[in-house]
Structure 1
């Protein structure tokens, strides 16, 4: 991926939520000092890069205003970048992305794929930084109502292609674009499972793939079984690592996770198995 270090396996992106209301760990890292320490701890546990966000995108979440998002995100990005970490900023706002890049962020991760803020694509193009384009159908407040598909894999691929083409038409270097199928965003559990089962279909878009399954609802539904209650988000890390291993074997560029150690181990095992398979075929 142009503009970022090269890893010889699927990378692990650790999540730093500087929010009071994220579905998984809201409030734990809301303080700047705690958020910075958490980012450093994630790298110590095996993360290759960290993704700093100041706005929850859980289903039903209201938006925060720009000034508050800037207050949450920029100091954390600045300190982590100064410590030598590879930092991504998770935002739908061009102004936040721009300030974060100025503070040292090297990747812009926009869950709207440039759809929420018309200034985002021109800003990313001008900055020349890598850009994550996620599949998105609308804001968190009502995205569950948009989870209607006749063919979820085909439609997600087609809609991602359109977002990718818009970004390139807006001046973003295609060699700096990562795609993300948007697990959990305007999707039910069966949609998410179908996308994980068909990650290979996303290869036709010709861009590196980020898989962000960490602790999401579809894993809770799987673990609950028929009629059971889904385990709490923090009890889904083993299930997350299972998806990380699958994503790595399917050639994903990176997985985005809250708990790093298990997924860091999973992607390294997947890489070792791939190497053994290649050696055996010679």
Structure 2
């Protein structure tokens, strides 16, 4: 029998609720109850709502839910998780599903990235290989040629850079040029040398869940319980990373919306996002402009999915997600700033 804790019953502020609410992961979200889920043989056998006042705080899951997340360092930049932030996407690919081929030259790509950083993005995630459903693998040297010049420019400009890749050679090259973090959509499973590369570099890493590779992942994804299966897989990958010498406080997780999942699977995961705080590491969500938005809005094309993407941003930060990976940096930063203003007002109640 395995137990899971999903924070719920969110409140605006803790005032007047001593002993009845708890702070989620050291952030700006408080919760008043936990959905305790029990699973055996792959199936849920029970789930119940337990008020905070009745929780066994000696349970290790409780410590993972409530412990503040350590900041990460990317070059000269410190990224903190006490409030939500934005990772902006910069694709140097001709075939990515949303912005493939948009940045034709290195100068254009670097300028676009600097602009997104100026708009408030905490990290720029640079990728040279499309991992959209059905895409083919790119030779690692081609991938390096696509991303290396832009990473060098951004690092020299003082921008915090992440490299979006599955390949250890690309990771190592990008890190040598000034990237400060690795974002691996395969969860460090594609390249057997990836774990060692990141451990040796001592850099932060995003471990994302996927079921299968880009070529096949959307053919017929299957889960016993999508939310819990993804949680268990990420837990296993965190353990593997730590065993390989990667510090736990440098790991982030991403549930991998759209990677080996149907619309129904994605919705189950999005509704249960707060569960992933039980892993004890920061949570990143990448759902920007994805198929789920089109599927829920009359098959809106990729360039007409801003509203749905912002809805998913707000869904994420409302459940305590610390970082969102987006194409639309300005709009997403603005949405978070408005949310932060509402939160600040709630944390400064009028004097009675």
Give the TM-score band, short-chain normalised: over 0.9
Q: Per residue, is there more helix in 1 or in 2?
A: 1
Distance 1:276 1:64, change over 3 A: same
1:272 maps onto 2:341 in alignment: yes
CA pair 239-176 structure 1, distance change in 2 beyond 3 A: same
Report the more deviating stretch, 241-250 or 68-77.
241-250
How does 1:129-278 map onto structure 2 within 5 Å? 129-224=203-298, 230-278=299-347
The reply to whether residue 40 of structure 1 matches residue 114 of structure 2 is yes
RMSD of Structure 2 on Structure 1 (CA): 1.5
CA distance in 2, matches of 1:131, 1:177: 5
Which digits, 9 at most, give the CA deviation of each residue in 1:141-195, with x for residues without a partner? 0001352112100100001111111111111000000000000000111111111
Does the CA-based 8 Å contact 2:274-2:321 persist in structure 1? no
Q: CA deviation at 1:219?
A: 0.7
Instruction: Decide whether aligned partners of structure 1 residues 91 and 107 sit closer, same or farther in structure 2, where only a CA change above 3 A counts.
Output: same
Residue in structure 2 matched with residue 2 of structure 1 by the alignment = 72
Query: Among residues 112, 135, 147, which one is paired with 1:73 in the alignment?
Result: 147
Q: Provide the rounded CA distance (Å) in 2 between the counterparts of 1:277 and 1:118.
A: 48
Structure 1 unpaired stretches of 5+ = 225-229
Contact 2:165 2:171 (8 Å CA) reproduced: yes
Instruction: Provide the rounded CA distance (Å) in 1 between the counterparts of 2:331 and 2:314.
Output: 10
Change (3 A) 1:114 1:30: farther
How many residues get paired?
277
3-state SS in 2 of match to 1:3: strand
Match of 1:95 in 2: 169
Max radius of gyration: which structure? 2
- Alpha-carbon distance in 1 for matches of 2:79, 2:146: 29
Give distance in 2, aligned partners of 1:260 and 1:91. Answer: 21
Q: 1:238–1:262: 8 Å Cα contact kept in structure 2?
A: no
Partner of 1:227: none
Aligned mate of 2:133, from 56, 59, 63: 59
Q: CA deviation at 1:280?
A: 4.1
Q: Matched residues in 1 for 2:138 and 2:221: separation?
A: 24
- TM-score between both structures, scaled by the size of structure 1: 0.94
SS at match of 1:142: coil
| TM-score normalised to structure 2 length | 0.76
Cα offset, 1:281, TM superposition? 10
**What's the secondary structure of 2:223's corresponding residue?**
coil
Contact residue 284 and residue 324 of structure 2 kept, 8 A: yes
Unaligned runs of 5+ in 2: 1-70
